[in-house]
A and B are shown apart, each in its own frame.
Chain A
Amino acid sequence: DAGITQSPRHKVTETGTPVTLRCHQTENHRYMYWYRQDPGHGLRLIHYSYGVKDTDKGEVSDGYSVSRSKTEDFLLTLESATSSQTSVYFCAISEGTQGAKNIQYFGAGTRLSVL
């Protein structure tokens, strides 16, 4: 497996509380991504980063913010968690955007339950 670590792996929280998920990589890849996986929807891109402090929105960014202060870390924050954000969250990385560098490598996922 590529050097991608997601933490925590499981989390249960209450509606209205802030939650931060961490993605850590040891591959020195430029691009990092956050997806959520839900039945009937596949994976949907939340946010991605194309460098330190450079981020952009994906398909389903409402209610989420991200930060990348170091190459190796990409944080996903739910400012005020809602039950609709119960999901499995995946982090991915890629070296570039063309050819073989455009291949994304995925973390093991974080299962989040918002009660």
Chain B
Amino acid sequence: AQRVTQPEKLLSVFKGAPVELKCNYSYSGSPELFWYVQYSRQRLQLLLRHISRESIKGFTADLNKGETSFHLKKPFAQEEDSAMYYCAPGGYGGATNKLIFGTGTLLAVQP
């Protein structure tokens, strides 16, 4: 079964510390992978996608096909990074636009 796992429900770090939010998936084929973020009182929005290889707000995510992982990283956390982060591979049922969302990781950056 297609599945995505975000093992940490809550990740608490201090400002300036490195951050790594883990995401592992079990998919056949080569899914397109996304990280979505939901800031307090805001809509869920795209943070980044693996195919674009971008760095958004200092975050990067590397696809490791061997480990089937797509961890989200940032070298120095900021307080404004506090939010709920969802990993979401596409490809459910063979359709690239059908996403399977992980259960989410709440990132809390302490001052």
Contact = CB atoms under 8 A, between A and B. Distances in A.
- Judge: A and B partners, yes or no: yes
A25 interface: no
B96 A43 contact: no
Contacts of B99: 43, 45, 104
Contact of B100 (A31, A59, A96, A108): A59
A108 B97 CA distance: 20
Give the dominant DSSP class at B's interface: loop
Interface stretch (B10-18, B43-51, B71-79): B43-51
B90 A102 contact: yes
Contact of B32 (A90, A92, A96, A102): A102
B69 interface: no
A104 B46 contact: yes
A62 interface: no
B86 interface: yes
28 contacts: A31-B97, A35-B101, A40-B103, A42-B6, A42-B103, A43-B86, A43-B99, A43-B101, A44-B101, A45-B98, A45-B99, A45-B100, A48-B97, A58-B92, A59-B92, A59-B100, A97-B95, A97-B97, A98-B96, A99-B51, A102-B49, A102-B96, A102-B97, A103-B34, A103-B46, A106-B44, A106-B45, A107-B43
Interface of B: 6, 32, 34, 43-46, 49, 51-52, 86, 88, 90, 92, 95-104
Interface residues of A, number: 28
Interface of A: 1, 31, 35, 40-45, 48, 58-59, 90, 92, 94, 96-100, 102-109
Contacts of A104: 46, 97, 99
Contact of B103 (A41, A58, A99, A102): A41
